[in-house]
Structure 1
Amino acid sequence: MTAPLNIAKLCVGCDSPEELAQWQAGRWGDGPACHVTRMWPKRESELLPDGSIYWVFKGLMLARQRLLGFEERIGADGIRRCGLILDRQIMRTVAVPRRAFQGWRYLPGAEAPPDLPTGRGSESPLPPKLAAALADVGLI
């Protein structure tokens, strides 16, 4: 079995996975979360059913949410957008440094960081410089 294709996205407006979870709970209640983006993924069939969105917080990829589907959203300006429908469970991942980028990027499953083991999800991530240094020498 091949690893699923994923999406990497900067989390703008939230500084941590916990803050993202709180924001989504306030916005979406108990239902699935939705993140609206301008571009529709051309590789939609590779993202579903097993892909995730990997969130980057302040230069570190720290969490993921499983992608459940895509919905067309038309903005007040009449422009068609893509609503990424997300599982509400936010899984913490091993911290991986990521440079800033605009929009979202495809993230092959083989390059995606692993989930943190159960019980370690509440740990604070390493400082970005230390995480980057460890990644450079292949330790994370």
Structure 2
Amino acid sequence: MSNTVNLLKLCVGTETVEDLASWQISRRNHWPDQKPRHITRMWPKREAELLNGGSLYWVVKGVILARQRITALEEQRGEDGILRCALVLDPEIFRTEPAPRRAFQGWRYLTPEDAPRDLPKTRHTEEALPPELARALADIGLR
């Protein structure tokens, strides 16, 4: 069993990885250390594994396209008084090989073996494959 695990999350409200990056930059002054956070209702039970090099993999329009390292978990009380978990993220966004994923609610654990590889930094400006093509390639075993 690996001592590192990742999280998989739908990136709701964005069309591209650039949208995600722009949103996080626009919110920078709202966070005490200016590091992006993603707030979730549930506290991950596998916290130690997440904080041992784990990342949050973002699903954009049905395809995993990017990841950010998780650097900490913090308690966050909402305006409604409910305690939630803030995933503190490294600001650097790594593009990944496109990997189709069906819609789901909340987040899911993602093992390092099942996580898509990072794209070379020189390919950051390339557009992702259309979701239909990425799904078709994944269905035949080509990511």
Deviates most, 49-58 or 3-12:
3-12
Residue in 2 that maps onto 1:38: 41
Letter in 2 for 1:6: N
Matches within 5 A, 1:1-140: 2=2, 4-29=4-29, 31-140=34-143
TM-score, normalization by structure 2 = 0.93
Identity fraction in percent: 58
* Aligned CA-pair RMSD: 1.5
Summarize deviations over 1:43-69 as a string: whole Å, max 9, x none. 101111300000000000000000000
Aligned residues between the structures: 140
Long gaps (5+) in structure 1: none
Long gaps (5+) in structure 2: none
Deviates most, 20-29 or 61-70:
20-29
Structure 1: distance between partners of 2:3 and 2:19: 28
Letter in 2 for 1:135: A
Shift of 1:121: 1.2
Summarize deviations over 1:86-136 as a string: whole Å, max 9, x none. 000000000000000000000011000000012101111111111111111
Structure 1's consecutive aligned runs of 4 or more residues displaced over 3 angstroms after TM superposition are none
Structure 2: distance between partners of 1:125 and 1:4: 27
Shift of 1:3: 6.9
